[in-house]
Chains A and B, each alone.
Chain A
Amino acid sequence: MQKSEVLKKLAKELSLTQAETENLYNSCVEELSLLLADKKGFTLPGLGSFSVELRSSHTAYNPHYRKKILIPDKQVVRFSQSSVIRNELNGGGNEQ
């Protein structure tokens, strides 16, 4: 679904104007990005939790140059799905 469609739907649902919804949307994304840039994790209920972790430097192989290559440290976003959505996707509360 595209952003514009999402905005339309939400605006209708919340009885807000498109502009207000867009404002909300943008600040929401900004907010979440800021948190992650700040290395803070958070949870979106029902969807999953986000966190930032350090992927430490390691060596890999570059097949093109046939050489080992050093991949430096990197901070990456980590997502872990919530159990709610897992169960829903896997056909309702079958095992843990």
Chain B
Amino acid sequence: MSNKATYNDIIEALSQSTGISKRKSDDFAKGLIKLVKEDLKTTGKSSITNFGGFSVKDVAEREGRNPQTGEAIRISARKRVSFSPYKALKKRVNAPYEHLEPKLIETETETEAGPDPKPETKVERPTFNPPKKSQSGVLIVSALIFLIISITAAWFFMSSDTEATETVAETAISSQETSQIDIGGSEEEAASVADSEDETDGSTMDSTPEAPVEASVETTAEAPDKTSPVASENYDVQHNEWFWVISKKVYGKSEWWPLIYQGNQYLNEDPDQLLPRKSLKIPALKGTAENPAKEDYRRLAIAASFVSKAYIKYNKPEKAAEYARFAKKYEKQGK
């Protein structure tokens, strides 16, 4: 078969690459195989360094069938050699598929969420218990609706159109309310971004045919005005510091650095790089780093997933996965 290399091919290539005679190469390969076999027989274990390990495994007795006659036979217990490739070899063999990673199926998957930062997540403190579902989508939508409706309402008031004015004004108020509620609940939102996509679509369709681009622009512009109730201090970055170090300094625990990163998300940069920035916002914790409030965990969960996204953007899938895991963990702790 063309898909197989013969032993001779291997020996030839070996002698060519080393410049040692074929005969010696052959002897070498045979000697190597012999040593592996000897090891297997005496200790039940062997390895070719940088290639893989062999081990002898016991296989229990089992029922089998003669493939020709279909007659049941007992296959006695026996020993079998198993091979497990070293990590480097595994990686090399899997190179064409390396970019693929296991994914959790359904709901939680961050389908699109987009690279653009969500400033709404900065806003904290759920004063009224918000409905848990479909928040983030509704937030964006309601912000958009609110904006459009308030404009139209204002316009209508100006032109003092009787009937239409009332209805529009009503809806304006109600949407304002919903948007406030959403702000309150915004911190759980980032976690359940994907959940709500569907519902969002339904509600958007009837009222707002506008492009979503406008929405995101508007919300980003608005969000800072709605000012978070959480106090944030400023911190002056010294030379060659990065988030981890700063977090250790201000919170006393380096694990909280995603909060800082997220709090300054407009930087939108590789989380690993050193910071040339002069001043950073440090979001205050509700509890302490040693004894965090549940809310802090929820925020940290959002921040961690934010960091994870940033890592994806900067092409570090491993770290992204790690922080996605952290996010899940913190989310649990926040409940």
Contacts and interface: CB of A to CB of B under 8 A. Distances in A.
A10 B90 contact: no
Interface in B221-271: none
Contacts of B14: 24, 27-28, 31
Q: How large is the interface on B (under 10, 10 to 19, 20 to 34, 35 or more residues)?
A: 35 or more
Interface string B10-47: 10011001101000110111111111110111000011
B50 interface: yes
Contacts of A10: 28, 31-32, 35
Contacts, number: 175
Given A40-B5, A50-B83, A72-B102, A24 B25 contact: yes
Contacts of A6: 32, 35, 49
A43 B35 contact: no
Q: How large is the interface on A (under 10, 10 to 19, 20 to 34, 35 or more residues)?
A: 35 or more
Contacts of B78: 86, 89-90
A70 B50 CA distance: 30
B20 A73 contact: no
Interface in A1-48: 1-3, 6, 9-10, 13-14, 16, 20-21, 23-33, 35-37, 39-48
Contact of B82 (A14, A79, A88): A79
Interface in A57-91: 57, 59, 62, 65, 67-77, 79, 81, 85-86, 88-90
A37 B41 CA distance: 29
Contact of A45 (B33, B79, B80, B106): B33
B164 interface: no
B51 interface: yes
B278 interface: no
Given A3-B49, A75-B96, A77-B93, A89 B81 contact: yes
Contacts of A72: 97, 100-103
A31 B29 CA distance: 12
Contacts of B88: 33
B104 interface: yes
B83 A31 contact: no
A15 to B, nearest CB: 9
A46 to B, nearest CB: 6
B29 A28 contact: yes
A27 B92 contact: no
B92 A33 contact: yes
Contacts of A23: 18, 20
B9 to A, nearest CB: 8
Contact of B97 (A67, A73, A77): A73
A69 B325 CA distance: 14
A23 B320 CA distance: 39
A5 to B, nearest CB: 9
B173 interface: no
A51 B85 CA distance: 12
Interface in B154-179: none
A76 to B, nearest CB: 7
Nearest to A1: B39
Contacts of A67: 104-106, 108
Interface of B: 3-7, 9-10, 13-14, 17-18, 20, 24-25, 27-37, 39-41, 46-52, 54, 56, 76, 78-83, 85, 88-90, 92-97, 100-106, 108, 328
21 contacts: A13-B31, A16-B20, A25-B28, A31-B10, A33-B50, A35-B5, A37-B95, A40-B3, A44-B33, A47-B33, A47-B37, A67-B104, A67-B108, A68-B105, A69-B102, A75-B97, A79-B83, A81-B81, A86-B81, A88-B41, A89-B79
